[in-house]
């Protein structure tokens, strides 16, 4: 019974995550308004059905199969944080129509849902199959490579922006300043690199959580690594959301520097 709720719930959260990422960052740009409206309606339906299935899983597993208190460890806490984050998003969605927040809440709910299932006996076979999947590993490596390339590109554009701005303020109009792209164009490119890099980084975390057949949720080295990866991803989520942070030159410069060094630290620590 729990499998009937578990697998479709994860699939619906995954589909909703992809839909909200497309809606938040406007890809593809030529998408008609009618298609955007249909995609938004589909994402909302996926989210509602996913919550209902997660609640059904809560009832069938925690109450009937396990037969013990709800919260017995950190993995159980992650499960309720996952469920609570989606409920909070639905409240914000119906009250304020903040569709852009779905690109943060739904992937987070999916990741925490999978991490919470790691220690439950009924989901071990599913995580084992994910961990042995070669195509999932290839996708994980592809998105990891793309996120590094894009965020490194954003880092380079940030340096170019900083050099160009300093020369203009010092009124040094030389050959270098004339050959550099305009500040607004450079800023727009850096923002696009940051947005696409965030999308790739989101899929890195989603596929990475599915590849883990065992997670030491105590705060050992791997536990801290997972926590730091989610925190770094959350930083990008706040940075690229236009509702919280508009495109501004100095902020793009700072974000590109912090983003690149935090990503480099995660890779070296792995």
Digit-by-digit pLDDT tens for the chain (270 residues) are: 566 778 888 889 999 999 998 887 765 555 567 788 888 899 999 999 999 999 888 887 767 766 665 666 777 788 889 999 999 999 999 998 888 889 899 999 999 888 887 555 555 556 656 666 788 888 988 998 898 888 888 888 877 877 777 777 777 676 666 677 777 777 778 778 888 888 998 998 888 888 775 555 554 556 677 777 787 787 777 777 655 444 455 665 666 666 666 666 666 555
- The rounded distance, in Å, linking the Cα atoms of 254 and 244 is 16
Q: Are 109 and 85 in contact (CB under 8 A)?
A: yes
Tell me which residue range forms the domain holding 170. 133-270
Same domain? 107 vs 172: no
Structure tokens at 156: 């380079």
pLDDT number for residue 189: 82
Last residue of a domain, one of 130, 154, 173: 130
pLDDT number for residue 167: 73
Same domain? 144 vs 16: no
Number of domains in the chain: 2
Last residue of a domain, one of 95, 114, 130: 130
For the chain, helix (H) and strand (E) counts, in that order, are: 10, 0
Same domain? 217 vs 90: no
Same domain? 43 vs 157: no
Cα 101 → chain centroid: 11
Structure tokens at 13: 């959260």
- The rounded distance, in Å, linking the Cα atoms of 180 and 83 is 48
pLDDT number for residue 51: 95
Same domain? 66 vs 97: yes
Same domain? 146 vs 235: yes
Same domain? 211 vs 111: no
- Compute the half-sphere exposure of residue 53: CA atoms within 13 Å on the CB side of its CA: 21
Last residue of a domain, one of 112, 130, 148: 130
Q: Are 267 and 175 in contact (CB under 8 A)?
A: no
Q: DSSP letter for 212, please.
A: -
Structure tokens at 47: 């989210």
* pTM score, whole prediction: 0.82
Same domain? 147 vs 94: no
Same domain? 116 vs 159: no
Same domain? 146 vs 205: yes
Same domain? 115 vs 205: no
- The rounded distance, in Å, linking the Cα atoms of 55 and 47 is 12
Q: Compute, in degrees rounded to 10, the torsion defined by CA atoms 161, 201, 116, 120.
A: -160
Same domain? 104 vs 13: yes
- Structure-token match 């999308």, residue found: 199
């Amino acid at each position: 019974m729990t499998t009937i709720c578990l697998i479709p719930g994860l699939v619906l959260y995954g589909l909703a995550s992809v839909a909200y990422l497309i809606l938040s960052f406007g890809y593809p740009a030529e998408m008609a308004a009618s298609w955007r409206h249909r995609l938004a309606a589909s994402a909302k339906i996926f989210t509602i059905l996913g919550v209902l299935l997660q609640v059904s899983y809560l009832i069938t597993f925690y109450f009937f199969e396990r037969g013990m208190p709800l919260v017995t460890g950190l993995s159980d806490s992650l499960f309720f944080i996952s469920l609570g984050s989606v409920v909070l998003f639905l409240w914000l969605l119906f009250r304020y129509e903040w569709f852009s927040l779905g690109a943060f809440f739904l992937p987070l709910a999916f990741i925490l849902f999978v991490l919470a299932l790691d220690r439950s006996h009924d989901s071990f076979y599913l995580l084992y199959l994910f961990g042995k999947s070669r195509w999932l590993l290839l996708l994980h490596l592809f998105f990891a490579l793309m996120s590094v390339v894009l965020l490194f590109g954003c880092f380079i554009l940030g340096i170019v922006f900083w050099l160009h701005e300093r020369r203009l303020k010092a009124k040094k109009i030389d050959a270098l300043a004339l050959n550099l792209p305009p500040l607004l164009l450079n800023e727009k490119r850096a923002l696009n690199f940051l947005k696409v890099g965030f999308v790739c980084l989101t899929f890195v975390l989603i596929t990475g959580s599915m590849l883990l057949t065992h997670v030491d949720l105590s705060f050992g080295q791997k536990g801290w690594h997972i926590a730091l990866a989610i925190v770094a991803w959350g930083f990008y989520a706040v940075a690229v959301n236009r509702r919280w942070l508009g495109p501004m030159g100095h902020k793009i410069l700072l974000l590109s520097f912090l983003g690149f060094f935090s990503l480099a630290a995660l890779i070296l620590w792995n």
